[in-house]
Amino acid sequence: MSDEIRVLPKGYSDTPVIPGQVWRVHDVDRPMPPVIAPASDATQALVGEPPSDALVLFDGTSTDGWIHRNGDSCGWTLVDGDAMEVTPRTGDIRSKDEFGTCQLHVEWKAPTEIYADSQGRGNSGVFLLGLYEIQVLDGYENPTYADGVTAAIYGQYPPLVNVCVPPGVWHTYDVVFESPEYHHGKLAKPAAMTVFHNGVLVHHRQEMQGPTQHRALASYADPHGPKGPLVLQDHGDRVQFRNIWIRELEKLQAD
């Protein structure tokens, strides 16, 4: 084997400018993207590793980053060394930090003890900005309303498919959330979500009709800021969560 490699061009400066951009095709001067380490996939036994530039919101060791919506310290329970479990009727919990447009990863599983059907089975939720819910539900062979099934944008859009695994098995949600934008108190750009459930696309940049409502229409009548906490719902069921991480997205396209 040769100990020299062939040195090839690292780009060009005599190519056409890409329409709408300042860069040429294969532009030698275009900045390279930052280098990060990838996430590793979770298995049922092993929690995955976040990518190296993620902010870890829950790694199984502590609930310190979380409080209840009313400000009380987190009353949910650490379990199995890597997860936390809803303590029913302690209330929703929220991250102490606030986020806007982001990529989010959450793993969760529903309890194996089944004492109700429909919305009474493994119900919880993941709320972006504390306002926009992706439904968490044990939707495995469990009839309910379509816009309330697992991974639904609750009350607005069912997922494209139901990718549920049985109760007691870990699920993953991978989400790209875009905060809504207001201009002088009027909606300029609605919130949008892309969601993968267990690796399968279930919402593709779905524009939302407003913050989540129950048995009511959503709207953007009450403007809110571009950031808010991540909220996990206490709906009375002992749902567990693990490996929660987030990447704030200052921009959705490279420069």
Binding site for Mg ion (CB under 5 A): 123, 125, 233
Q: Which is nearer to Mg ion, 102 or 126 (CB)?
A: 126
Q: Please report how close the Cβ of residue 154 comes to Mg ion at its closest, in angstroms.
A: 6
Q: How far is CA 66 from the centre of its chain?
A: 16
Q: Which is nearer to Mg ion, 206 or 233 (CB)?
A: 233
Give the residue from 231, 247, 58 showing the smallest Cα distance to 132.
231
Q: Which is nearer to Mg ion, 54 or 149 (CB)?
A: 149
Which residues are CB-contacts of 48 (< 8 A; sequence separation ≥ 6)? Answer: 39, 40, 41, 42, 105, 107, 243
Euclidean distance between CA atoms 96 and 64, whole angstroms:
9
Q: Please report how close the Cβ of residue 180 comes to Mg ion at its closest, in angstroms.
A: 21
Q: Which is nearer to Mg ion, 125 or 210 (CB)?
A: 125
Q: Please report how close the Cβ of residue 235 comes to Mg ion at its closest, in angstroms.
A: 5
Residue nearest to Mg ion (CB): 125
Q: Please report how close the Cβ of residue 136 comes to Mg ion at its closest, in angstroms.
A: 6
Q: Which is nearer to Mg ion, 102 or 232 (CB)?
A: 232
With tokens 């987030």, the residue in question is: 246
Give the residue from 82, 90, 84 showing the smallest Cα distance to 240.
84
Q: Please report how close the Cβ of residue 197 comes to Mg ion at its closest, in angstroms.
A: 14
Cβ neighbours around 51 below 10 Å, total: 15
Q: Compute the residue count for the chain.
A: 255
